[in-house]
């Protein structure tokens, strides 16, 4: 039986702001193994799963030609895309640039605040032109609508057959925009929508849970892990036995990074924030939603932020935390994940930087291992989207407007979804004579394999879609196959990955997959997906939030590297004192009022299906 909690998930079905930019990238990774990653360029070790048919692939189900707009648009148009999900700035290049040119004769010039700095948002808003095509967080999008920066697209969107598959979700969202409660105007399109339901949990692996290298865990005798201290004991033994990777480089159970701190409506350092969900708690800015549907301040010593921060400090004092953690970049982390220098992963997509089919087959892949005192929080399928919104800038001319709408409709099509979630037909997947899709070159993203010249050449990851966010979630069903776009749910992929490791895991935990284990053991809290636009910060609240966030991040990193319990607690107490002095309690009151609105919407969504 699944324990349900109607908690909040408006902006956090993919919880960390800058993390979501990667999630989009790594959804294709999900396609190629238990996901796939990105790093160096090598030739593929194998070119197809062992279960691929011996016959030459047929054209059955082929959408690589699709209903594109090639030939319809003779003039190449550059579209300026202001994009909060992107971690790349400049004109899209590589194989996806060729896809866009062939399909629509466009090129995307991406303006990324994650690269250029957040000040670029205010600069462009003040100038009255954010961009031709924008991707924003929901609250900012509503503000831009109110300020006349976003165009009403209701005159064209109802003729977009692919977007109209999600007509209910799109209309529901637009009714939440202040001043548009009648829904007569359509301004925005949510991203990562599904064709399932607001209370369905389709994933077999939740967004965050402890994942260990199976071969190392097996070597230790597959011990039951009772709590966080027990997890540290297991990780310590792994490091003692294997202090380096195969190349002799230092390896650690924990390797952290600060790049994503303070994002996605969650105050605090990202690597702590996400692990709080292991205990059924969800951080919402300055407050934490507890499993009993009550709120408590983030600074509560009895809540999960303190608990996880203390856990990481204990790990550091036992020599289990990479000493580079406080200063290294995401790019450093990618290199360490792909080279086997990390022994614990906690994001579902993260394993894509290691879990190739070969490693799944030889048992060296990462997989969920339960910690018995934990209660795992999971968001339901993002039926209404994950919080970000795509819109058209109010300053675009008619010619560019037509091209942008053609792009958006194409972007929601099965053809585009296959490019997004599956890659290049003939290179990262094949369509067999039986009509089923088969994975090929599953290491294309993680090893940045060279792309065939017919697709423009270059590295596969180098040319990956830099827009970095999808309209259609990978768990949605592909009408060409009757199966989800996500590769790991393909019947062929499941057949290919029925490995000895898989059989061992099932026998050890008496479950088919991680979510099945969580449900059987009453260890899962499911939060319904809802569509609601919350008010933005007032100027006073914004100042308090920014000041408190800076203090929280600074002290949190220092506490991870504290030398003793007494030093840790002294830092915590001083941090709380300084935050309270800046008005933190006002922030708690404001956030409690705001997120109670979302909580009530969650409860209503759950009640509607019961």
Q: Which of 393, 513, 317 shows the shortest CA–CA distance to 150? A: 393
Helix (H) or strand (E) holding 209: strand 208-213
Q: Do 433 and 57 form a contact (C-beta atoms < 8 A)?
A: yes
Lowest mean pLDDT of 14-23, 163-172, 210-219, 517-526, name the range. 14-23
- The DSSP string of 502-562 is HHHHHHHHTSSSHHHHHHHTT-EEEE-----PPPPPPHHHHHHHHHHHHHHHHHHHHHHT-
Average pLDDT of the segment spanning 310-316:
98
Average pLDDT of the segment spanning 486-503:
90
Q: What value, to the nearest 5°, has the Cα angle with vertex 465 and ends 464 and 469? A: 135
Lowest mean pLDDT of 19-28, 162-171, 433-442, 492-501, name the range. 19-28
Angle (deg, nearest 10), helices 539-560 and 584-608: 100
Q: Which of 380, 52, 362 shows the shortest CA–CA distance to 216? A: 362
Looking at residue 388, what is its pLDDT? 94
Instruction: Encode pLDDT of 414-454 as tens digits.
Output: 999 999 999 999 999 999 999 999 999 988 988 899 999 99
pLDDT category at 13 given cuts 50, 70, 90 is: very low
Lowest mean pLDDT of 14-23, 248-257, 453-462, 477-486, name the range. 14-23
pLDDT category at 610 given cuts 50, 70, 90 is: low
pLDDT at 588 over 80: yes
Kindly provide the b/e burial profile for residues 345-363, where b requires at least 16 CB atoms within 10 angstroms of the residue's own CB.
Answer: bbbbbbbbbbbbbebbbeb
Which tokens is 228 given?
């966080």
Looking at residue 488, what is its pLDDT? 85
Average pLDDT over all residues of the chain: 87
Q: Which of 193, 173, 192 shows the shortest CA–CA distance to 183? A: 173
C-alpha span between 510 and 495 (Å, rounded): 20
Looking at residue 445, what is its pLDDT? 87
User: At residue 78, what are phi and psi to the nearest 5 degrees?
Assistant: -95, 125
Average pLDDT of the segment spanning 212-241:
98
Lowest mean pLDDT of 66-80, 259-273, 532-546, 557-571, name the range. 66-80
Of these ranges, 330-339, 445-454, 484-493, 568-577, the one predicted with the greatest mean pLDDT is: 568-577
pLDDT category at 530 given cuts 50, 70, 90 is: confident
pLDDT at 27 over 70: no
pLDDT at 6 over 90: no
pLDDT category at 246 given cuts 50, 70, 90 is: very high
Of these ranges, 67-81, 287-301, 594-608, the one predicted with the greatest mean pLDDT is: 287-301
Q: Rounding to the nearest 10 degrees, give the CA dihedral for residues 51, 56, 59, 61.
A: -10
Residue pointed to by tokens 């990238």:
25
Residue pointed to by tokens 């292991």:
278
Average pLDDT of the segment spanning 85-110:
96
Looking at residue 534, what is its pLDDT? 82
Q: Which of 319, 312, 225 shows the shortest CA–CA distance to 271? A: 312
Kindly report the pTM of this predicted structure.
0.73
Looking at residue 497, what is its pLDDT? 79
C-alpha span between 336 and 76 (Å, rounded): 40
Average pLDDT of the segment spanning 8-33:
33
Lowest mean pLDDT of 69-78, 136-145, 182-191, 228-237, name the range. 69-78
pLDDT category at 260 given cuts 50, 70, 90 is: confident
Instruction: Encode pLDDT of 155-178 as tens digits.
Output: 999 999 999 999 999 999 999 999
pLDDT at 9 over 50: no
C-alpha span between 435 and 608 (Å, rounded): 39
Looking at residue 242, what is its pLDDT? 97
Percent of the chain with pLDDT over 90: 77
> Radius of gyration over alpha carbons of the chain, in Å?
23
Average pLDDT of the segment spanning 499-507:
94
């Amino acid at each position: 039986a699944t324990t349900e909690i109607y908690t909040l998930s408006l902006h956090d079905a993919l919880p960390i702001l800058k993390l979501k930019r990667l999630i989009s990238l790594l959804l294709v990774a999900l396609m190629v193994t238990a996901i796939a990653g990105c790093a160096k360029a090598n030739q593929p070790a194998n070119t197809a799963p062992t279960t691929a048919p011996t016959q030459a692939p047929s054209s059955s189900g082929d959408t690589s030609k699709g209903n594109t707009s090639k030939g319809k648009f003779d003039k190449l148009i550059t579209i300026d895309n202001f994009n909060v999900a992107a971690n790349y700035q400049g004109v899209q290049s590589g194989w996806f640039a060729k896809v866009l040119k062939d399909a629509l004769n466009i090129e995307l010039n991406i303006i990324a605040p994650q690269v250029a700095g957040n000040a670029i948002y205010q600069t462009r808003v003040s100038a009255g032109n954010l961009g031709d095509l924008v991707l924003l967080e929901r609250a900012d999008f509503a503000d831009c609508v109110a300020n006349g920066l976003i165009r009403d697209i209701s005159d064209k969107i109802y003729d977009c057959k692919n977007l109209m598959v999600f007509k209910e979700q799109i209309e529901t969202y637009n009714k939440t925009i202040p001043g548009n409660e009648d829904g007569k105007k359509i301004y925005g399109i949510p991203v990562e929508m599904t064709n399932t339901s607001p209370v369905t949990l389709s994933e077999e692996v939740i967004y965050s849970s402890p994942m260990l290298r199976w071969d190392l865990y097996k070597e230790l005798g597959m011990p039951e892990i009772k709590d966080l201290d027990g997890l540290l004991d297991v990780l310590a033994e792994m490091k003692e036995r294997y202090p380096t990777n195969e190349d002799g480089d230092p390896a650690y159970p924990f390797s952290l990074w600060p790049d994503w701190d303070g994002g996605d409506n969650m105050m605090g350092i990202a690597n702590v924030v996400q692990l709080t969900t292991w205990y059924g708690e969800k951080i919402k800015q300055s407050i934490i939603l507890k499993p009993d549907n009550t709120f408590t301040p983030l600074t509560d010593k009895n809540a999960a932020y303190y608990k996880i921060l203390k856990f990481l400090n204990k790990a550091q004092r036992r020599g289990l935390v990479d000493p580079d953690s406080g200063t290294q970049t995401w790019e450093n982390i990618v290199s360490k994940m792909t080279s086997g220098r990390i022994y614990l992963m906690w994001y579902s997509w993260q394993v894509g930087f290691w879990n190739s089919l070969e490693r799944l087959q030889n048992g060296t892949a990462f997989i969920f291992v339960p910690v018995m005192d934990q209660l795992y929080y999971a968001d339901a399928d993002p039926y209404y989207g994950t919080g970000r919104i795509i819109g058209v800038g109010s300053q675009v001319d008619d010619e560019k407007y037509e091209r942008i709408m053609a792009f958006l409709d194409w972007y929601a099509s099965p053809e585009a979804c296959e490019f997004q979630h599956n890659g290049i037909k003939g290179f990262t997947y094949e369509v067999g004579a039986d009509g089923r899709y088969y994975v090929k070159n599953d290491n294309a993203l993680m090893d940045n394999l060279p792309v065939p010249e017919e697709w423009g050449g270059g590295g596969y990851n180098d040319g990956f879609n830099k827009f970095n966010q999808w309209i259609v979630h990978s768990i949605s069903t592909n009408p060409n196959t009757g199966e989800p776009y996500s590769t790991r749910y393909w019947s062929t992929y499941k057949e290919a990955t029925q490995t000895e490791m898989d059989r061992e895991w099932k026998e050890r935990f008496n479950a088919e997959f991680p979510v099945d284990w969580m449900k059987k053991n009453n260890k899962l809290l499911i939060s319904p997906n809802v569509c609601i636009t919350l008010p933005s910060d007032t100027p006073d609240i914004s100042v308090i939030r920014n000041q408190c966030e800076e203090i929280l991040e600074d002290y949190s990193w220092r506490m991870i590297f504290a030398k003793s319990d007494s030093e840790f607690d002294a830092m915590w107490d001083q941090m709380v004192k300084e935050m309270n002095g800046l008005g933190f309690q006002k922030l708690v009151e404001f956030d409690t009022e705001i997120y109670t609105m979302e909580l009530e919407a969650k409860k209503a969504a759950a009640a509607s299906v019961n």
